[in-house]
Amino acid sequence: MQLTGTHINYYFICSRKLWLFTNGIHMEHTSDLVSEGKLIHETTYPQRSEKYEEVQIGGIKVDFYDTRNKVIHEIKKSDKIEAAHEWQLKYYIYVFEKAGIKGVSGILEYPKLRKKEEILLSDIDREQILEIEKEIEEITGSETCPDVINSKICKRCSYYDFCYADED
């Protein structure tokens, strides 16, 4: 299976979400949050063509790559810095490296928070990504969908109705 940034992101959020997404059940297009995220992308970097390039390598697509400085910019609509965001960006750097593009770093940008965070890939991260890839294969290859997690994050998840349809 060719992994994408979304797989890595969902791995850190919820195994069930990862499984549903990988097994072809997609709800994101119905989510207002996704539209909001797209709007932030469009309004934050209206002049991308001048400074950034869109880069696709294997399963990943990076919207804002600063070729000159070798920096991947990832913009998040969230009002919270999350491990899922950090690892998604680390994974992008990892895939760039595997493609022979060395010395790449990342910047996570949170326009709502007016914050930026630099992301670097360490040797420990590289080892952990190998483990994460294995675990994603195990979760997504399972014949059974993982249980709901009953977490407060569920209310903001695009699969909420799908997961909790039988509840009052």
- Measured from the CB atom, is 83 or 99 closer to ligand SF4? 83
Q: Which stretch binds ligand SF4 (CB under 6 A): 49-57, 66-74, 119-127, 150-158?
A: 150-158
In angstroms, give the least distance from the CB of 139 to ligand SF4. Answer: 12
Edge-first strand listing for the sheet containing 105-110: 53-57, 60-66, 71-75, 105-110, 115-119
- Tell me if 33 contacts ligand SF4 by CB under 6 A: no
Residue 84 binds to ligand SF4 (criterion: CB under 6 A): no
Beta carbon nearer to ligand SF4, 11 or 96: 11
Regarding 7 and contact with ligand SF4 (CB under 6 A), the answer is: no
CB closer to ligand SF4 out of 95 and 163: 163
* By the rule CB under 6 A, 154 interacts with ligand SF4: yes
101 near ligand SF4, rule: CB under 6 A: no
| Contact residues for ligand SF4, defined by CB under 6 A | 14, 16-17, 148-149, 153-154, 157, 159-160, 163
